[in-house]
A and B are shown apart, each in its own frame.
Chain A
Amino acid sequence: MSVFGLGAAGTAALLVWGLAGLPSFGDFEGAYGQLLAHLTVPERHATSAVAVSTFDFRGLDTLGEEFILFTAAVGVLVLLRGQRADETVAAEPMHPRRPTADSRTLRSIATALAAPVLVLGAYVVSHGHLTPGGGFQGGVILMTAFLLVYLAGSHLHLAAIRPLSAMEGAEGVGAAGFALIGVGGIILAGAFLENFLGFGTTGNLVSGGVVPLLNVSVGIEVMGAILVIVGELLDQRFLVRKGDR
């Protein structure tokens, strides 16, 4: 404990020293961010400077980010599924029709919310270039809709609406879609991730060039990846050691 106290005091001193060198709060004068923000509407005909920075000006960065997520989902699969070699999945849980949640209220609310949440997720993904939101945020909301179905039903329902191979497929399609849109930029516009579509009218749903397409592919990928991760972790409940049977 005293070791930690000493280390923490040193770290705190270094942090204060470093942070004191930053411009004081509210006085940031970064020219790069302002340049991007002011190019967003005239050059890209989209209204969300964050989405345009993420998917257009810094698209390569986001490609890497997306593959981090992809790799992590694969890593979770490898870590948790390797275990299945010496354990068997209880294909039929002990009480196959037992609901996930015991509370009837919780199940009713989850049933009522699943469809609206799905629509909300689709909205957040498709309007990412106009308003706050986008593929990453919307993908997580879409994933929540599937988790609500899980809460409302039994484990078997989730297995039915979440066929693992389909989710892996969605993850792969999303990641590949992003890369392919980038390759489309090479073919049609001369540079990776270069915009090759018309920019449309500012404020319309179809505007901003490839940014909405990239948002959709990221949304699909995030939904698939997180469902794979969450599903694998939930499945751990149903793994039974061969010896324990």
Chain B
Amino acid sequence: MTLPRGIRIALRIASGLLLAFIYVPIGIIVLYSFNAARVATWPITSFTLDWYGRAIGDGGVRAALLASLQAAIGATVVSLLLGSLIALAVQRYRFFGREAISFVVVLPLALPGIVTGIALNTAFRAIGLEFGLLTIIVGHATFCVVVIYNNVVARLRRTSRSFEEASADLGADTFATFRRVTFPAVRTALIAGALLAFALSFDEIIVTNFTSGASIQTLPLWIFSNYQRPNQLPLVNVAAVLVLLLSIVPVYLASRLTADPAAVAGART
């Protein structure tokens, strides 16, 4: 589209500045992961790679990373199932309570995390459920469902029902139609949603704080407790940088899969 050149340049500069703004703190984190001093001050006087070596060898980091991965995978799988089921129901059928359900589904992400966390904590203790990986997964899945739901609903909204009807006309039964028409249409939305749900679960701290027990610690919780322990600060920065590097690939994949711009719209981060 044609815009005055001045405005185009202004927008380009604004975008560049904003991206820089977003990445300055990230740069700080990377910088301080090389800080030799145990106490973080500015400016950094000595640099070292020691912390990277220690982080890779540190059992606590590995255990926390493993726990986070397990929780994220569990939560993503559960929310994939539940999220797509609700999305199909809400998008493809008209029924009493449809509006209410689409409203309620959004709540876990819209209400403050501390409310969800305390509520789930109370409920788990009331029914005597042991705190651990399961309770963490339940807590995470509650808001990961929203992400999947949004994605699938957005995609279904743009997928014409006529395809499904045509499939039925050609003799496919309900399951076959789903398998061969509906599913392929939403597949990339599911994958994008799954990657984003994974990210949400991986980084979550507030709800996890209330739904984990003594025995298990996800990476954000490990970071939180290590910030309280003196002498561990550089280790935390290293952990953060490593996670960042590891996540470049999945994020890139997600964005390629959702090259359909409208699908990015449904991608709730």
Q: Do A and B bind each other?
A: no
A residues lining the B interface (CB < 8 Å): none
Residues of chain B whose beta carbon lies under 8 Å from any beta carbon of chain A: none
